[in-house]
Structure 1
């Protein structure tokens, strides 16, 4: 049947469409600039039970607006032990954008968000309790990039993680 053949093509078309979408990353913390995070914080070690720091921490006053860095779909919003209050957005190129340590969350799961839309506010939830308020921001590839692997600690995991600081300063 022709319908079954088209259904088999659907996953391939969705995969291609995800890569074809333009990816524009915007600053996730209102008013933040490059000096609000340490340039060497991505993959810094030692980093607690995680070993290495797989994102960047953007420091700001508690309650400062956190916006989606990209247009996408909210896959998860809620609380987890280390991240505290978190939002996970699936964006273009099949990349996950992870926002954690939020003070509050302004979106619900499985809804569309636009780049620049407020999704929460800076906080100190999860394992950031008692530390200066900040947003932990990570970008994770769903399709691995083996050429990103290097000899650093847990360097094989770099095929999944992207340094968000490179996007936020226009590199």
Structure 2
């Protein structure tokens, strides 16, 4: 697949997303890839992945490798993590520690980025890549939002469709 191509996956049902996240749309979150406007986003939430075995609970934003990835709002770097599926990833908590933002398939982190670091809206976190299970010829940011559980576990929460939030549909 080339970067210009897109895949068409049939949608599969998702588990209930929990409480609506209308307040997120009101926060004016940034599109997390520099130079990508809201109108260019394509809703990939709920599409099938893993040969139809799981739902995609995120938004994929195609961009050239090395494009800066930005913090959608202020908050804290909760975890820098490398995984088989997500590759080089970053988990950010919002200032109230109600929501987590997940940035995956990064080519690399921004210089000096560290766990526990306070972030400002628009701060460069890293750069678009194709690490993990992303196709090497289709660099993109896999961006997810989830409402944290009371335990505030960085890897766990109720998924929220980032497309709806970033396009102001909620």
Q: TM-score, normalised by structure 1?
A: 0.72
Residue 68 (structure 1) aligned with residue 71 (structure 2): yes
Q: 1:23 touches 1:92 (CA, 8 Å); kept in 2?
A: no
| Counterpart secondary structure, 2:133 | helix
Partner SS for 1:101: strand
Larger radius of gyration: 1
Measured after TM superposition, the shift of residue 133 of structure 1 is 0.5
Equivalent residues of 1:71, 1:112 under 8 A apart: yes
- Distance in structure 2 (CA, Å) of the matches to 1:33 and 1:26: 9
C-alpha displacement of 1:129: 4.0
Query: What's 2:122 paired with?
Result: 116
2:144 is matched with which residue?
A: 138
Distance in 1, matches of 2:99 and 2:137, equals 28
Name the one with the larger helix percent.
Answer: 1
Q: Could you say which residue in structure 1 is the equivalent of 2:32?
A: 28
How many Å separate the matches in 2 of 1:57 and 1:34?
Answer: 13
Q: Larger RCO: Structure 1 or Structure 2 (Cα < 8 Å, ≥ 6 residues apart)?
A: 2
Are residues 1:82 and 2:85 paired? yes
Q: Structure 2 regions of 5+ residues with no counterpart?
A: 1-22, 151-156
2:45 paired residue number? 42
What SS does the corresponding residue of 1:110 show, helix, strand or coil? coil
Asked if the contact 1:36/1:60 (under 8 Å) is kept, the reply is no
* Structure 1 contact 55–139 (Cα < 8 Å) conserved: yes
Of the candidates 126, 131, 136, which is equivalent to residue 132 of structure 2?
A: 126
Q: CA deviation at 1:85?
A: 0.5
Partner of 1:95: 99
1:55 to 54, 58, 80: 58
Contact 2:69 2:128 in 1 (8 A): yes
Q: 5+ unaligned residues in a row in structure 1: which ranges?
A: 1-18, 145-158
Other structure's SS at 2:122 match: coil
